[in-house]
Structure 1
Amino acid sequence: MKTLVFGDVHGNATALQAVLEQEPEFDSVIFLGDAVSPGPQPNETLELLSELDGIFIRGNHEYTMLNPDSVERWPDGFKAFMHWIYDVFDPSGVDFLTDFQEPGLFEVGDHKIVLAHGDESPDVRHVLPDMKAEQFGPFTYGETQAPVLFGHSHIQFRRTIAEQNFINPGSVGQNRCGHVTACYGLLEDHDFTFHHVNYDPTPWLQALDQIPALDAHESFRGWFRQQMITGFAAGENEPWLTYAAQGYR
């Protein structure tokens, strides 16, 4: 059984299409959350995701999509961006996102795996490769042996803690380590492997430029565009510069 494992698309249908073209054959998917926002291709992303069969886990951006009031204290540019997404998003997408499952223990094939988004800890924004072991605890959901697949921090890595494997396939749509590449993983029987595919971001950039709601927020649009061009979706700062120098994706 071959399972495509990915997450954090964030409305980047261009990147997701590149993944699906590189991996045309698989039996099912595991999606680890954050599907359509904040990104300029929400409906295109919805169309691609809705054609896939598998397990879809709810992330923090599913919450923002289903609860528009949650963005009212965001910076003006981000808020305008999200309001545009709410306005143009196909109504069928609301039902699709509502059906995403809560994180927890799942049976995948003949083995059990914990599937989490990775934002479970209220004290740690992103769980990263070199963090203390206890920071990984909140998304084990009480399991001490089952492997854990999680996203949210947008960096590919594997960490073993007390014989329990924690695996992050990276982000499809918003790389943070200086690469214009879509990251994902493959689970074949009990073996997990990391993969990535480079892509031309031009369609994504063109979609961003065509959002009328951002005409009054050109500084935000320029900042968001620069993140895609550089591959540093959280900005060219630490710890991402160090991770990039260490070869992470």
Structure 2
Amino acid sequence: MQVGLISDVHANRPALDAVLDAMPDVDAVVHAGDVVGYGPFPSAVIETFREHDIVSIQGNHDRGVLGDFHDNFHEIPKSAAEWTTERLTEDELAYLESLPIERDLYEGAVKVAHGAPGKPNTYTYPEDFSADLLGEESVLVVGHTHVQAKSEFDEGTVVNPGSVGLPRDGDWRAGYAVLDVESGTVDLHRVEYPREETQAKIDEYGLPEVLIDGLEHGELVFGRAKRSVTDSVE
């Protein structure tokens, strides 16, 4: 069984469209959270998730759009979340609310968590990947950092497919991965997309200008140091 892995779409429709077009034939697409937030196309992205039956969990920005801002949620993403809330319908908000915090898939072979298992707002950077993160699953899929990476251990694999909508690893291209569930092998991929379309809409809608630069360079840091797996921040 082949599964496409994506994360952190952040309402970036051109990036999502490019990833789905580039992805090889798969049996399902699984998303590790943050359907919306930051980006200017929240309704279109939710519509695409529904049309393609993308299996998703909630990310912290999805919860922010629903009014649940955890501690240290920075003012820039908070303003983008509030902008998003004003533009979504009740049905679209209900869709986000229906998403679980975590998922166990394919008879327990795959676990999907936004930050870390049991810690949905925690950053798990590549240097934090370890076998200790794994439970009964053979593949753990995380997001949240917007940094594409995978690590293989005797116990299984930890993978972040990278951000579709707003990479933060210095590569502006949209990230995704393809998982073979039976073998547990994961291949990482990047794809170019017309980022200028997203940048133009960010400018038109008056979203934070820093997002335009973030899309340009594949980096977005709000004046804070990188955090470890033990910390819980926005």
TM-score, structure 1 as length reference: 0.78
| 1:40 aligned residue | 40
CA positional deviation for 1:104: 4.3
Of 226-235 and 177-186, deviating more is 226-235
In terms of Rg, which structure is larger? 1
**Are residue 204 (structure 1) and residue 201 (structure 2) matched?**
no
Shift of 1:13: 0.9
Contact 2:37 2:80 in 1 (8 A): no
The equivalent of 1:126 in structure 2 is 123
The equivalent of 1:228 in structure 2 is 215
Shift, 1:74, TM fit: 5.3
User: Hey, what does 1:150 align to over in structure 2?
Assistant: 142
Would you say the 8 A contact 1:180–1:199 is kept in 2? no
Partner of 2:186: 192
1:115 to 82, 91, 112: 112
The answer as to whether partners of 2:151 and 2:157 remain within 8 angstroms in 1 is yes
Measure how far apart 1:144 and its partner are. 4.6
Q: Alpha-carbon deviation of 1:116?
A: 1.2
Secondary structure of 2:128's aligned partner: coil
CA contact (8 A) 1:147 1:166 kept: yes
1:91 to partner: Cα distance: 2.5
- Supply the distance in 1 between the matched residues of 2:78 and 2:112 (Cα, whole angstroms): 30
CA distance in 1, matches of 2:93, 2:74: 24
1:159 corresponds, among 134, 151, 175, to: 151
How many aligned residue pairs are there?
225
- Partner Cα distance (1:103, 1:79) in 2: 23
Q: How has the CA–CA distance of structure 1 residues 77 and 56 changed in structure 2, closer, same or farther, with 3 Å as cutoff?
A: closer
Does the CA contact (< 8 Å) of 2:202 and 2:209 recur in 1? no
Alpha-carbon distance in structure 2 between the residues aligned to 1:152 and 1:222: 21
Quote the residue 1:217 is aligned against. Answer: none
Q: 1:176 aligns with which of 155, 168, 176?
A: 168
Q: Distance in 2 between matches of 1:184 and 1:121?
A: 23
Question: Cα deviation per residue 1:7-33 (whole Å; 9 max; x = unaligned)?
Answer: 101111111011112126332111111
**Residue 86 of structure 2 corresponds to which residue in structure 1?**
87
Is the Cα–Cα contact under 8 Å of residues 101 and 120 in structure 2 kept in the other structure?
no
Q: Secondary structure of the equivalent of 1:195? A: strand
Unaligned runs of 5+ in 1: 215-220, 240-249
In structure 2, do the counterparts of structure 1 residues 103 and 125 end up closer, same or farther at CA, with 3 Å as the change threshold? Answer: closer
SS in 2 for 1:166: strand
C-alpha separation in 2, matches of 1:118 and 1:71: 13
Structure 2 residue runs of 5 or longer lacking an equivalent are 227-234
Once the two structures are TM-superposed, the CA of residue 103 in structure 1 deviates from its matched residue by 1.2
Q: CA RMSD in A?
A: 3.0
Comparing 5-14 and 18-27, the one that deviates more: 18-27
**How far apart, in 2, do the equivalents of 1:167 and 1:32 lie?**
11
Percent identity, aligned pairs only, is 25
